[in-house]
Amino acid sequence: MSENTINAALRRLGYSSEEMTGHGFRSMAATGLHEMGWKSDPIERQLEHAETNKVREAYTHAAQYLEERTRMMQAWADCAQWREGCSDPSQGGMLKRQLRC
């Protein structure tokens, strides 16, 4: 997915380019997920950063870290829901500030 696609989706959600960009969202997510205690490899795989090691890339599959990524995205969703008053605020320092959790 291109950065322009993500930026267009953010605009449709009501975020101005001064408030949030695709790269800013990725940065916020990566920082927040690290602060929540998730490991780097599943975070990077979820956020679709390309593998720089070409040998490793040749053996990487889309389902890599799938179970851990599923739990991680549920924790992210729980924090986003809490922002809307729906869940528990016990997750992540930076995420709380950025998502107002």
Please count the CA atoms within 13 angstroms of the CA of 97 that sit on its side-chain side.
8
pLDDT of residue 82: 67
pLDDT in tens, 80-101: 776 655 444 444 444 444 554 4
Instruction: Give mean pLDDT, residues 44-57.
Output: 74
pTM score of the predicted model: 0.63
CA dist list (Å): 22 to 6, 28, 54, 91 = 5, 10, 25, 22
**Sequence letter at residue 84:** E
Rounded Cα–Cα distance for residues 20 and 34 (Å): 20
Residue 25 in contact with residue 76, Cβ under 8 Å? no
